[in-house]
Amino acid sequence: MISGKNPCVQIAALTKRHGDTLAVDGLSFEVHENEFFSIVGPSGSGKTTTLRLIAGLLQADRGEIFVNGQAMSGLLPNQRPVNTVFQDYALFPHMTVWNNIAFGLRMQGVAQSDMARRVRDVLNIVQLPGKVDRLPSELSGGEQQRVALARALINHPAVILLDEPLGALDQQLRQDMQRELKAIQAQVGVTIICVTHHQSEALLLSDRIAVMNKGRVEQIGTPEELYSQPQSLFVAQFVGQSNRLEGEVLATNESLSVFQCPGVKPIHIFGVSQELVGVRAMMVLRPEQLTLSREYQCDDAENCLETSIDQVLYLGEAIQYVITIGSKFSWTARGDPQHDRTSRFRPGEKAFVKWKAQYGLLFPQ
């Protein structure tokens, strides 16, 4: 389902202190209707605090939260059209699956007949029919997660908050649940805000992502925007793998610039403005932008450096080569495992790594 551009959740200048530190610092952003919106960031970045502020489990010091145009400040969690799926699921251990799921409806005084129908419907949506009389302790991790999701969905809230939803699941289960989450959202049509520190997962699931750092938003964008057009070094390093090179911009004309890292051949970069000349900066490349070869073969628009293979790691879907550039920067390059085994590099081999000049991203320090 294509998310409409109507704002469902609006955060305005949200601030929350935690002791002496600012957990959330003047946060402002919007989440659109039916969007899968993720907030990612390292621990301590304030993403969980933000989620709890939206849920009402914390009250902000300053700023405002709007859900469907309604101001949330002063409203308790049980007064907000927001439901949360907690990290540890928080299923009531003394209640059956049925009672867990129907809890929200019970609290709102929904009629019994309606309740039965809605519970049945939501169980079908999360694909968990027929386990209604079990206790949470009798369910597997994946099943518990579905119950937690159903418990939130059944109330048709304006927003569902997910707190590290797939953390406790094993790899295969994670992937299954990821697909299901997207399917459920498409089917039901609900706005989801998800907090996770797994940026790869966020890239997979989200329509848009907000990258948070030290209580502030570094960048908001679609997964592709964040990955290929990061606006800060932090985002470039946090989202996806990054190969870095520290150096100085020597000179630039209209289109081409020269970037020099000590001990490394000068590198060509595109699109650097005049004011960055003489400035120390960090260049970032993605692993898939690099090509390894045994011979030196360099076009005008390419950069080519000599290197040697430190490590070869077999990932299954790719081969990862760890190489060293400029004697202190460790880079990762990819290789195709489908290639003939004999053409693969081995640790210690000399190689040449090259990339197109237009790929390099530059961030002043």
Partner 1 sequence: MNRSFRWLTGMSVGTLVFLYGPILVILIFSFNASKISATWEGGTLHWYGQLAGDHSLWLATSNSLLVGTVSTLVALVLGLGAAVFLERGRVLGQPLIEGILLLPLVIPEVMLGVALLLFFVMLDWPLGLTTVTAGHCVFNLPLVIMVLRARLRKIDPVWELAARDLGASPWQAFVHVTFPLLRPAMLGAGLMAFTLSLDDFVVTFFTTGPGATTLPLKVFSMMRTGITPEINALSAILVTVSMLLIGISLAFQRK
Partner 2 sequence: MTVSSLRQPSLLLLPTLLVLGVFFCIPLLLMFVVSFASRGLYGGLEWVFTVENYQRLADPLYWTIYGRSLFLAVTTTVVCLIIGFPLAYVMARSSPRMQTLLLVLVMIPFWTNFLVRTYAWMFLLRTEGLFNSLFLHVGILDAPLDLLYTNGAVFIGLVYGYLPFMILPLYVALERISPSLEEAAHDLYAGSVSVFRHVVIPLAKPGIVAGCILVFIPSIGAFITPHLLGGGQSMMLGTLIQHEFLVVRDWPFGSAISFLLMLLVLVVGVPLFKGRRLWGS
Residue 194 identity (one-letter amino acid): C
* Alpha carbon 289 to its chain's center: 21
155 interacts with partner 2 by CB under 8 A: yes
Q: Between residue 41 and residue 70, which ones bind partner 2 under the rule CB under 8 A?
A: 55-57
Question: By C-beta, is 51 or 362 nearer to partner 1?
Answer: 51
**Can you give the binding site for partner 1, defined by CB under 8 A?**
59, 76-77
Task: Tell me which DSSP letter residue 131 carries.
Answer: -
Beta-carbon contacts of residue 189 (< 8 Å; ≥ 6 apart): 1, 34
Nearer to partner 1, 76 or 301 (CB): 76
d(CA 322, CA 339): 18
> Which lies closer to partner 2 via its Cβ, residue 78 or residue 338?
78
Give a three-class secondary structure readout of 215-264. Answer: CEEEEEECHHHHHHCCCCHHHHHHCCCCEEEEEEEEEECCCEEEEECCCC
Considering only the stretches 59-67, 89-97, 181-189, 191-199, report the one whose residues sit in contact with partner 2 under the rule CB under 8 A. Answer: 89-97
Give the one entry of partner 2, partner 1, none that residue 84 binds, where binding means its C-beta sits below a cut-off of 5 to 8 angstroms depending on kind: partner 2
Smallest gap from Cβ 166 to partner 2, in A, equals: 17
Can you say how many angstroms the Cα of residue 311 is from the centroid of all Cα atoms in its chain? Answer: 28
Q: How far is the CB of 76 from partner 1 (least distance, A)?
A: 6
Told to check if 137 binds partner 2 by CB under 8 A, we report: no
Instruction: Specify the residue, 57 or 301, whose C-beta has the smaller distance to partner 1.
Output: 57
Please tell me whether residue 329 binds partner 2 under the rule CB under 8 A. no
Select 75 or 277, whichever has its Cβ closest to partner 1: 75
Q: For residue 86, state whether it binds partner 2 (rule: CB under 8 A).
A: yes
Least distance from partner 1 to the Cβ atom of residue 95, Å: 21
**Min dist. Cβ of residue 76 to partner 2 (A):** 7
Tokens found for residue 264:
């490394």
User: Which CA distances in Å does 86 have to 148, 153, 260, 332?
Assistant: 8, 13, 48, 36
Kindly tell me which of 79 and 124 has the beta carbon lying closer to partner 1.
79
- By a kind-dependent CB cut-off of 5 to 8 A, residue 86 interacts, out of partner 1, partner 2, none, with partner 2
Distance of closest approach, residue 155 Cβ to partner 1, in angstroms? 19
196 is written with which tokens?
């996770």
Q: What is the DSSP string of 291-320?
A: EEESS----TTEEEEEEEEEEEEE-SS-EE
Near partner 2 by CB under 8 A, which window of 16-24, 88-96, 250-258, 267-275? 88-96
The CA–CA distances, whole Å, from 216 to 20, 77, 356, 357 equal 16, 24, 33, 32
Binding of partner 2 at residue 77 (CB under 8 A)?
Answer: yes
The amino acid that residue 40 corresponds to is V
CB 28 within 8 A of CB 216: no
100-129 positions binding partner 2, by CB under 8 A: 103-104, 107-108
Amino acid at 252: T
Identify the CA nearest to 163 among candidates 153, 148, 174, 150: 148
Nearest-approach distance from CB 81 to partner 2, in angstroms: 10
Of the two residues 58 and 123, which places its CB atom closer to partner 1 in the complex? 58
Closest alpha carbon to 309 in 353, 340, 277, 278: 353
C-beta of 63: minimal distance to partner 1 in Å?
19
Give 36's strand partners.
Answer: 192
Task: CB nearer to partner 1: give 28 or 59.
Answer: 59
Binding site for partner 2 (CB under 8 A): 55-57, 76-78, 82-84, 86-88, 90-94, 103-104, 107-108, 151, 155
